[in-house]
Amino acid sequence: MRPIFLVVWGGLGLFMSHFALAHQNSAGDWSSEPMNLLAIVMVAGVIVGGFIYKQCARWRKQMKKENSDHDA
């Protein structure tokens, strides 16, 4: 579970730094709107992916528990 938190915090840190740079350099060079959209999609993907992974892990644990209870 720690790698997910590290990835989420790392992604949020990169997004915030990119967002600050985009507002600092509003001249429209490399920090244009497609880069902002890409950063938002990446961070949202990591967050949603982490949530789905956590739900799947919970579901597997519940299924394993039900199978062990059924075998007893």
**How do residues 37-67 score in pLDDT, each as one tens digit?**
777 777 788 888 888 889 999 999 998 888 8
4-43 residue pLDDT tens: 777 777 777 777 777 666 666 555 555 566 767 777 777 7
Residue extents of the structural domains in the chain = 2-71
Q: Is 33 helix (H, G, I), strand (E, B) or coil?
A: helix
Residue with the two structure tokens 């967002």: 19
Q: Fill in the amino acid letter for 30.
A: W
pTM beyond 0.85: no
Q: Is 27 helix (H, G, I), strand (E, B) or coil?
A: coil
Contacts 24+ apart (CB under 8 A), 52-59: 53/4, 54/1, 54/4
